[in-house]
Amino acid sequence: MQRIGIVLFPGFQVMGLAMSSVFEFANLTAGENRYDIHVLSEHGGPVPGSLGFAVTTEAFANLRFDTLLVGGDNEPTPATPGLLNFLRKAAKVSRRVGATCTGAFVLAAAGLLDGRRATTHWAYARTLQREYPNVIMEEDRIFIADGPIWTSAGMSAGIDLALAMVEKDLGADIARLVAQKLVIYHRRAGGQSQHSALLKLEPKSDRIQTALDFARQHLRSELSVEQLAEAASLSPRQFSRAFRAETGQSPAKAVEHLRVEAARLMMESGRHSMDTVARDTGFGDSERMRRAFLRAFGQPPQVIRRVTREHAAAVMG
């Protein structure tokens, strides 16, 4: 079992604790406790967060942590000598040390980011670069893993960072299931811009589910309303009405979402050309696929592929 330590300090941003849910659901998804989570602070006991309520913590101890993660604050907070000393010692024995958001300032103050690539919240990236010129700042990144040191952008990006750690430890399938259960995007595209995930279609009736299953299995086909209605054993008019009522989408929009998701997965799992991906997922040509990706993610397929390769390099590095 891997011991995870999450380090808090007075005034920590409470959303930073969301990354703990990733490890919790990784345990649930794996069917066994792969992670042992500890919430830490310098002196232990209740530590007040940014909203005023306190979280119970354990004091720094001699326990060895596989992974140590430092939470952030609404703005950079000076670290105490005790915290910095703890991090310097931990970095020598822990497999990974990371920080979310402005927690990167704490790692930088401890000297752990010297000569390394790092990121932090966009609003403070240039401040960190100015105060710690030995850090190689990449401000338009969701997260960065440079060797054993991991940093993420804003607080929500701590979830992306934790998912990447789970993928490195337990594999892409577990990480994808964790993301699905948390209703978040497995691999977020772009830089620190925010993108919505494609929510899984969950129709209420077996007939509409059958049509969706048919669509998933025949993405290279035209998939007209008539074809889908036939799979659902409904007339085209009945099918269109029922489909929109149960999914909130038109059949054409849902099919496009299925094709986009299939295309993204193909780009994640192999080195297929854009033309091959477009053909095998039913778009027909790469330009039509590009327009669909822009509607879904606000980014073209080439950017999604680049981010995926950078993500893979971080996970494998």
- Catalytic residue check, 101: yes
In angstroms, the first-to-last Cα distance of the chain is 21
What long-range pairs does 80-87 form, CB within 8 A, spacing at least 24? 80/9, 80/42, 82/42, 83/7, 83/9, 83/42, 84/109, 84/110, 86/7, 86/42, 86/60, 87/7, 87/112
Distances from the Cα of 232 to the Cα of 237, 257, 280, angstroms? 12, 19, 24
Phi, psi of 209 (to 5 degrees): -65, -40
Residue 194 CB partners (closer than 8 Å, separation 6+) = 156
* CA contacts within 13 A on the Cβ side of 294: 7
Residue 181 tokens read as 């259960």
The closest of 86, 4, 128 to 117, measured between CA atoms, is 128
Give, in degrees to the nearest 5, the angle at Cα 237 between 235 and 240.
105
Q: Which of 101, 149, 157, 267 is catalytic?
A: 101
Chain centroid to Cα 284, Å, comes to 30
Q: What residues are annotated to the active site?
A: 101
